[in-house]
Amino acid sequence: MGWLIPITAALAGQKGKDYDYTGFDSNQTRRTEAVVEMFRFAWSGYYTYAFPNDDLQPVNNSFANTRNGWGATAIDALSTAVIMQQTDIVNQILDFVPTIDFTKTGEGTRPGALADVSLFETTIRYIGGLLSGYDLLKGPFEHLDVDEDKVEALLKQCIVLADALKFAFNTTTGIPINNIFIHNQTFAQRYRIPDGTWSAGLAELGTLVLEWQHLSDLSGNAEYGELAQKAMNYFLKPSEEVWPGLTGGNFSVETGKILDAYGGWTSGNDSAYEYLIKMYAYDPEKYGLYKDRFTAAADSTIAHLLSSPSSRPDLTVASSFAGQAPQNYSEQLACFIGGSFILGSTVLSKPDYLTAGLDFAEFCANGYRYAPSGIGPVIYSWNTTELAWPQFANQSSFYENSGWFIDDNGAFGGGLTPEAVESWYYAYQVTGNQYWRDVAWALTLAQNRTERVGSGFSSIRNVLSEDGGGWTNRMQSFFLAEVLKYQYLIQAPEELKGEWDVEYAPDGVGQGGNVNPWIYNTEAHPFKVRAKTPV
Ligand SMILES: *[C@@H]1O[C@H](CO)[C@@H](O)[C@H](O)[C@H]1NC(C)=O
Ligand SMILES: *[C@@H]1O[C@H](CO)[C@@H](O)[C@H](O)[C@H]1NC(C)=O
Ligand SMILES: *[C@@H]1O[C@H](CO)[C@@H](O)[C@H](O)[C@H]1NC(C)=O
Ligand SMILES: *[C@@H]1O[C@H](CO)[C@@H](O)[C@H](O)[C@H]1NC(C)=O
Ligand SMILES: *[C@@H]1O[C@H](CO)[C@@H](O)[C@H](O)[C@H]1NC(C)=O
Ligand SMILES: *[C@@H]1O[C@H](CO)[C@@H](O)[C@H](O)[C@H]1NC(C)=O
Ligand SMILES: *[C@@H]1O[C@H](CO)[C@@H](O)[C@H](O)[C@H]1NC(C)=O
Ligand SMILES: *[C@@H]1O[C@H](CO)[C@@H](O)[C@H](O)[C@H]1NC(C)=O
Ligand SMILES: *[C@@H]1O[C@H](CO)[C@@H](O)[C@H](O)[C@H]1NC(C)=O
Ligand SMILES: *[C@@H]1O[C@H](CO)[C@@H](O)[C@H](O)[C@H]1NC(C)=O
């Protein structure tokens, strides 16, 4: 029961780096096999009770359609199944892909499917999943016993999907409307601002370019990448900045101007920053401006946003901001920031990004360690003004040890999200330090203990409760796409690793330049980078 060890430290009121992972099984092969067992269990529950719908509801062996009803979990699981070499599952997914009708959604396709499609979610999960499966099966996993025609169908179907979506970019500025009806090619009214104009969130417009450009590179049709690039330009050359590189997150679709000054590496903004460094790594010659913008954002973050909770000066986190006022607030979703800084440190040879990135990864490791369930919180607050409010007074002794509290009594749930283990994976790759594997293994054990329910895994209702406080009954597709992939990659022994891993540079800072032959999209789907692909 290794998971008890770090948590016991938290419950005993010990503080800081006072934990012990020595009780863990250190056999990496066994750890890796255990992650594969979890993946196969999750897949089998989905395939038995939910396929070809989007998500499994594991508690009562039911399903839901939250991602257009095109089998989101199947498409999202493909690249993980390939990397784990689970050929039977790969073939189940490949058989399914040609049957999807990407030109229809809503009633009449699958029960409960919404008519409106999110461009952002569809891009990162479906386009990302299809292209990654294609790259992996045409490249390092071409030895798997699969039907070649069905591998080709991944790219063909991706083109059908992108062609169905691309009218979203047909606006005054080229900034896309995120929520669209594809069957009649109209925009969803419910996202219209009352004055009759449209707005777009930073993450929505800034997390398309990697997928759409990669589709251009694989299909030979430049249009897709150009559409996404045009939208991204409003973030690369912003109308206003709060600090160099850091902007508000609300863009006018009519003018491209930024309408607010709220931001950070938090949800709604997050992956636009991630894609700055990833595009540069994808093609350093073509994407020099992305490097400059990432450097500006990272430097401003270090200059203005580094913060330490009053009770835990040993921890460092990036604040969010309201104008030039840093807010003592972050989120589980922002835990990816460690990975982006570490990737930046290796690609740009910047030791200060490595220091910051490892600190950020540790902030979230601490978060998971102190949550009694072993699952980190959705919200991290270290705002002592709010802590003094009566409704949070019951978390103040907890805050004394942990350095965070949840400043929303309706937000105790959480659990299947990948951002923290993503950063731990980058941290392990670049340091070679077993500590990060142990941190990730503690999460694997906690997830298997508190989130495994019925035919799959579910988010829990209360991360502050040791048993998780019950389940939300939803296994989102990113649990298979991201969480289990990063948990596998971080534990996998050398013989299971390969060119798809991010740069392994245990001496600290990497070699600089384009050393990663693969880049992971924000849904953890690896793409073969452009500059390494001879044309
Ligand atoms: C590690 O686990 C694997 C799989 O169970 C086993 O084959 C191997 O012998 C173990 N290695 C050691 C050093 O115990
Ligand atoms: C763009 O939208 C306009 C109407 O707003 C329409 O006339 C035009 O055909 C559309 N273009 C494309 C390429 O869909
Ligand atoms: C397009 O479809 C949506 C969803 O079915 C519907 O609400 C909307 O009115 C339709 N728009 C047009 C112009 O037909
Ligand atoms: C963006 O700003 C507009 C206008 O102020 C507002 O109506 C809308 O709710 C904002 N959207 C977001 C996502 O903040
Ligand atoms: C960007 O992050 C800030 C801080 O968390 C948040 O207030 C804002 O709503 C986010 N922007 C969008 C478009 O979601
Ligand atoms: C702390 O919370 C208060 C109340 O929500 C807010 O007004 C203030 O800006 C926050 N300060 C910081 C530094 O987060
Ligand atoms: C916010 O955090 C900073 C440390 O970065 C601290 O000095 C300040 O007192 C905190 N403010 C609040 C309201 O918690
Ligand atoms: C703290 O008390 C509030 C009521 O004021 C309650 O909603 C919340 O669940 C309690 N939090 C904890 C961690 O017990
Ligand atoms: C996960 O849970 C299953 C079922 O309880 C168990 O068989 C398996 O050994 C567990 N794996 C780990 C790593 O704890
Ligand atoms: C399964 O549980 C969910 C609530 O978690 C409920 O909405 C759904 O109707 C249930 N499905 C069946 C088939 O009972």
Per-residue model confidence as pLDDT tens digits over 390-448:
999 999 999 999 999 999 999 999 999 999 999 999 999 988 899 999 999 999 999 99
Distance CA 411, CA 413 (A): 6
Ligand 5 pocket, mutate which of 234, 246, 320 (most atoms under 8 A from CB): 320
User: Are 369 and 307 spatial neighbours (Cβ–Cβ below 8 Å)?
Assistant: no
Q: Answer whether CATH 3.20.20.70 is correct for domain 9-504+514-528.
A: no
**Ligand 8 in reach of 462 Cβ (< 6 A):** no
Q: Which atom of ligand 9 is closest in space to residue 448's alpha carbon? A: 1
Strand ranges in 130-223 using DSSP code E only, listed in sequence order: 179-181, 186-187, 199-201
Amino acid at 410: G
Query: Would you give the end-to-end CA distance of the chain in angstroms?
Result: 52
Residues present in the chain in total: 535
Nearest CA to ligand 10 atom 4: 473
Tell me what pLDDT residue 16 has: 62
Tell me what pLDDT residue 320 has: 98
- Map out the domains of the chain as residue ranges: 9-504+514-528
Tell me what pLDDT residue 8 has: 42
Tell me what pLDDT residue 7 has: 45
Whole-number Å distance, alpha carbon 13 to ligand 9 midpoint, is 29
Distance CA 429, CA 530 (A): 22
- Taking only the tens place, the pLDDT of each residue in 13-42 is 456 666 788 889 999 999 999 999 999 999
Tell me what pLDDT residue 506 has: 56
Nearest CA to ligand 10 atom 2: 60
- pTM given for the model: 0.96
Tell me what pLDDT residue 17 has: 60
Nearest CA to ligand 10 atom 11: 62
Whole-number Å distance, alpha carbon 442 to ligand 9 midpoint, is 13
Q: Which atom of ligand 2 is closest in space to residue 185's alpha carbon? A: 14
- Taking only the tens place, the pLDDT of each residue in 192-210 is 777 778 999 999 999 999 9
Nearest CA to ligand 5 atom 1: 263
Give the ligand with the smallest distance to the CA of 115.
3
Please report which confidence band the pLDDT of residue 257 belongs to, taking 50, 70 and 90 as the band edges.
Answer: very high
Q: Which residue has the higher pLDDT, 243 or 512?
A: 243
| DSSP per-residue letters across 53-73 | SSEEEGGGTEEE--STTS-HH
**Ligand 1 in reach of 497 Cβ (< 6 A):** no
Nearest CA to ligand 4 atom 12: 250
Mean of all residue pLDDT scores within the chain? 93
Nearest CA to ligand 1 atom 12: 27
Is the pLDDT at 368 greater than 70? The verdict is yes
Instruction: Detail the residues annotated as belonging to a binding site.
Output: 522
- Residues of the chain by 3-state class (helix, strand, coil), percent to 5: 50, 10, 40
Tell me what pLDDT residue 189 has: 76
Percentage of residues of the chain with pLDDT beyond 90: 86
- Taking only the tens place, the pLDDT of each residue in 50-80 is 999 999 999 999 999 999 999 999 999 999 9
**Ligand 9 in reach of 452 Cβ (< 6 A):** yes
Q: Which atom of ligand 8 is closest in space to residue 393's alpha carbon? A: 1
Nearest alpha-carbon partner for 123 in 51, 46, 68: 68
